[in-house]
Amino acid sequence: MTTSSSRSLGEWFTEFEREAFRLETLDDYSQSGGVDAYQAFLAGEEQPESYRTASWMTTVGNATKSGKRVYRVHILSRPLTDYLRFELSWGYRRNMTAGEEFFILDITDTQNPIPNSPDFWMFDDRVAAVMSYNGAGKYLGSEFVRADRLSEFRSCRDTALAHAVPFTEWWALHGE
C-alpha cells in the first residue's frame, strides 16, 4: 500500500511543523497505556508519579512551547464509561498543563455527524494515520492512509470540530 508518509507515527510526534490533530471515537482505551494509572483511578488512589511525568507530557510540552498545536476531539456519549471518567478527569486535565487542547463531541442526545470515522492522527494536514484497537481497548497499530484520501480525514476533523465544544465547557456541565 502506498502511504502518505515515509516517517513512523512516533517520528511525526516530534517532527510535525504546525499541528497534530487526534480524533478519538472509542469508550475504552484501557489496554493501550497508563494501565497502572487506570487501576489506581478505579481504586481511588493517587495518580502514580510515572503517570504524572509520562513521556507524552514532554512530547506535548516541547511541541506547544515551540508554537505548535496539539489538539483532539473525542466523540462520546453519557453516561461515561469508567475508562472515559479516567481519561477525562486524569488524562485530559493532566495533558492540558502541557498545552494540549481538547474538545468533546457529545452525541448523547444527537446523531454522530461522522458515524463511520475511525480513530486517527493527522499531522500538518499532510498525513493521517488510522489507529487500530481491539474490543478491549488495546492498541494494535496504525496505518498511514494514501495521500488521495487525506481530504476525507480533513473533512472528518472539520466536522468534528464544528460540532464539538471545548473540554472545559463540557466538563463544567457534565464532569464528575
Cα–Cα distance, 73 to 102 (Å, whole number) = 6
166 preceded by a cis bond (ω within 30 of 0): no
Angle at 101 between CA 128 and CA 114, to 5 degrees: 50
pTM above 0.75, yes or no: yes
How confident is the prediction for the chain on average, in pLDDT? 94
Q: How confident is the model at residue 5 (pLDDT cuts 50, 70, 90)?
A: low
Residue 1 has pLDDT above 50, yes or no: no
> 7 vs 18, 20, 22, 131, 162, CA distance in Å?
16, 14, 17, 15, 30
Any idea which fold 9-174 has?
Answer: Endonuclease; Chain A (3.30.870)
How does pLDDT run across 130-165, given as a tens digit for each residue? Answer: 999 998 889 999 999 999 999 999 999 999 999 999
- pLDDT given for residue 7 in this prediction: 81
How does pLDDT run across 80-107, given as a tens digit for each residue? Answer: 999 999 999 999 999 999 999 999 999 9
The three-class DSSP label of residue 139 is: strand
- pLDDT given for residue 3 in this prediction: 47
The three-class DSSP label of residue 35 is: helix
- Choose among 30, 34, 3, 21: nearest CA to 117: 21
Cα–Cα distance, 117 to 77 (Å, whole number) = 16
- pLDDT given for residue 163 in this prediction: 98
List the chain domain ranges. Answer: 9-174
Q: How large is the average pLDDT for residues 62-75?
A: 98
**144: its cell numbers:** 498511514
Question: Which range among 19-28, 121-130, 135-144 shows the weakest confidence by mean pLDDT?
Answer: 135-144
Angle at 152 between CA 111 and CA 12, to 5 degrees: 110
- pLDDT given for residue 4 in this prediction: 54
Angle at 29 between CA 57 and CA 17, to 5 degrees: 40
Cα–Cα distance, 124 to 58 (Å, whole number) = 20
What counts of helices (H) and strands (E) characterise the chain?
A: 8, 7
Residue 111 has pLDDT above 60, yes or no: yes
- pLDDT given for residue 61 in this prediction: 97
The three-class DSSP label of residue 142 is: strand
